[in-house]
Amino acid sequence: DAGITQSPRYKITETGRQVTLMCHQTWSHSYMFWYRQDLGHGLRLIYYSAAADITDKGEVPDGYVVSRSKTENFPLTLESATRSQTSVYFCASSSRLAGVDSEQFFGPGTRLTVL
Amino acid sequence: GDSVTQMEGPVTLSEEAFLTINCTYTATGYPSLFWYVQYPGEGLQLLLKATKADDKGSNKGFEATYRKETTSFHLEKGSVQVSDSAVYFCALSVASGSARQLTFGSGTQLTVLP
């Protein structure tokens, strides 16, 4: 499918388990982002990546790990899930060529529940 | 640090009513400003943007003007439709590290009744 996709769309896990959320984009965009969406907080940036093998922390990185071995994929791993990580997670991408204020394109989101 | 404050919702309007969603910001330097919209069950989509003071962004009947003197970027639409029901996010873009990042407001839920 063209565009940006996330999997799974819904996930229920238990405290302490490792969980990986997948993000895939077909546009060859340089920049990719992970956000979490919580009521009252809007979206908060977890990690971002400017290119393959280049990642950097956002506002709320604790408890998360990212990697980017290929331009099109940007997985987010919760190494030991906690209840406070229950949230909706959005992946986004944007093009370097479109300029520094290029539009970010968002995936459909993954709703994660940690019991 | 940089931040965005939006009027709290939810906002409920009748079809064809006038819409205003207030947004103010705090930022160092000169940010770019955005409105994103999230329809039920979907990711966010860019609605409009403005990159410098006095710019007006517009799309689908929505407008917002970048007001540097009042640090505001209020969203307006003259006549809303049921299909405009969604969550609206104001955001600003600042340079940080190797990319410009978006800082979002908390979102405003809009419901338009027929």
pLDDT score recorded for residue A96: 66
Given this model, what pLDDT does residue A98 score?
A: 47
CB contact under 8 A, B104 and A104: no
The minimum CA-CA distance between A100 and chain B, rounded to whole Å, is 6
Judged by CB atoms closer than 8 Å, whether chains meet at B98 and A58 is answered as no
Nearest chain A residue to B40 by CA: give it. A108
Summarize pLDDT for B49-86 with one digit per residue, the tens: 998 899 999 999 999 999 999 999 999 999 999 999 99
Please write the tens of the pLDDT for every residue from B13-49: 999 999 999 999 998 878 889 999 999 888 899 999 9
Q: Which amino acid is at B111?
A: T
pLDDT of residue B100: 67
pLDDT at A47: 94
In this predicted model, what pLDDT tens digit does every residue of A72-99 receive, in sequence order? Answer: 999 999 999 999 999 999 999 988 644 4
- Amino acid letter for position B46: L
Dihedral angle, C-alpha A44, B40, A88, A86, nearest 10 ° = 120
Residue that wins the pLDDT comparison between B30 and A6: A6
With contacts defined as CB-CB under 8 Å, which chain B residues touch A90? Answer: 43-44
More confident residue, A26 or B96: A26
Predicted pLDDT of residue A100: 54
Distances (CA, A) of B51 to A69, B45, B97, B104, B106: 33, 17, 20, 16, 21
Nearest by CB: A101 against B41, B44, B100: B100
Question: CB contact, 8 Å: B107 with chain A?
Answer: yes
Nearest Cα residue to A29 out of A61, A63, A69, A73: A73
pLDDT tens profile A31-76: 999 999 998 788 999 999 988 898 999 889 999 999 999 999 999 9
Grade residue B102 by pLDDT with cuts at 50, 70 and 90.
confident
Cα→Cα distances B18→B33, B47, B78, Å: 22, 17, 5
